[in-house]
Structure 1
Amino acid sequence: MYEFISGKITKATPAYVVIENNGMGYLINISLYTYEAVKDKKETLLYIHENIREDAYLLYGFSDIREREIFQMLISVSGIGANTARMMLSSMSPEELQLAISTENVNQIKSIKGIGQKTAQRVIVELKDKIGKVAEEQKIALLRDNTNAEEALSALVMLGFAKAPSQKVVDKILKENPDSKVEDIIKLALKML
């Protein structure tokens, strides 16, 4: 299983790129979203999904891991193959697709070429919970990257509070008020712990 392939781009089209790596050229199918990210580059790194069938061995490449995760979720839905998933990611950005699924926007998903009413509903039913979890994890990861959160957490630990419960409280505070200052986070956390 390939995780990623990096190298020199020898050919880039809206449907695929050819990446040269150690004397080998890999033809990698891509979405328009990924094409926009790599079209002006001479070298790139693409995260890979292998699609091995009886009649073909295909590689699908993504400019970021989030897009690959959404692609893999889409192909897990009955009736959606790799090319349909790629078409969906070419029609909408990963964020737009995530939002359409989590808000149950059938019409927006149905507007994608090749997706009918039943398929759009199936995508929503099967992926709403999964997409929600991924979005929540990404939001928490962004909150944890916040230096105010780190400072507040270290202050709480120095005050004698356990790290795990303190982390949960800080995450909760930042989820409700993402722009909180360190002092405000600590004050609210002390009330909650």
Structure 2
Amino acid sequence: MIAYLKGKLVTKDPTHILIDVNGIGYFVNISLATYSDLKDKENTLIHTYLHVKEDSHTLYGFTNEAEKKMFLLLLSISGVGPSTGLMIQSSLSSDELKQAIADENVKTIQGVKGVGAKTAQRIILELKDKIKKEGIQKDFVPSQHNTVRSEALSALITLGISKSTAEKSIDAVLKNSGNTITLEELIKLALKNA
């Protein structure tokens, strides 16, 4: 298994990065939280998880161990695959997700595109005790980066949302929030509205 990659970031996108490690380029799927952490970096260390299926080997990357641990906890839930795990982590920060699990807030988790009521209840039921043992952190740190509509649209399309639905959702969010919204916030709100 590949535990981490340390190298130069060749490409940064809200859904993936291409990292050069000694002349070998690795395509790594990432969440919006990881994208936010990497936005201004050229060289980095990415904690990775290699998901192996019969027809593919896919790398998922995280800037910190806590995000990777939460991703692995989500994967342990029946019905939650890597794509859904990344969607959850792109829509909710680790702290927001932990808080929703601890508070048994099904509606917050169900608000993530692709997560139904049964899956949200299963996530809460199976992770509640594990989250409470760790303790809940309440230090939400908003991103300070500005964004553009096209990057958000590209990210939503990559996450599987149709172009017309994504455009409507992004436009609705931009209309309500003005020009002060970050890329991460725009994508999160657009995901909730899609």
Q: TM-score, normalised by structure 2?
A: 0.69
The structural deviation recorded for 1:25 is 0.4
Letter in 2 for 1:94: S
Between the aligned residues of both structures, percent identity stands at 46
Residues 108-166 of structure 1 deviation map (CA, whole Å, 9 limit, x = unaligned): 00100001111100100011011122337x89xxxxxxxxxxxxxxxxxxxxxxxxxxx
Map 1:110-149 → 2, pairs under 5 A: 110-135=110-135
Letter in 2 for 1:88: I
Any idea what SS the aligned residue of 1:41 has? Answer: coil
Q: Which has the higher contact order (CA 8 A, sep 6+)?
A: 2
Larger Rg: 1
State the Cα RMSD in Å: 1.4
Distance in 2 between residues matched to 1:122 and 1:72, nearest whole Å: 15
More helix by share: 1
| Corresponding residue for residue 91 of structure 1 | 91
Letter in 1 for 2:24: M
The structural deviation recorded for 1:101 is 0.6
| Corresponding residue for residue 43 of structure 1 | 43
Map 1:151-190 → 2, pairs under 5 A: none
Aligned length in residues: 138
The structural deviation recorded for 1:102 is 1.1
| Corresponding residue for residue 156 of structure 1 | none
Distance in 2 between residues matched to 1:58 and 1:24, nearest whole Å: 16
Residues 58-82 of structure 1 deviation map (CA, whole Å, 9 limit, x = unaligned): 0000011000000000010000000
Distance in 2 between residues matched to 1:97 and 1:46, nearest whole Å: 22
Map 1:101-112 → 2, pairs under 5 A: 101-112=101-112
Any idea what SS the aligned residue of 2:98 has? Answer: helix
Any idea what SS the aligned residue of 2:41 has? Answer: coil
Which runs of no fewer than 5 residues in structure 2 stay unpaired?
Answer: 139-194
Whether 1:56 aligns to 2:71 is no
Which runs of no fewer than 5 residues in structure 1 stay unpaired?
Answer: 140-193
Map 1:23-34 → 2, pairs under 5 A: 23-34=23-34
Q: Which runs of 4+ in 1 moved over 4 A?
A: none
Whether 1:71 aligns to 2:71 is yes
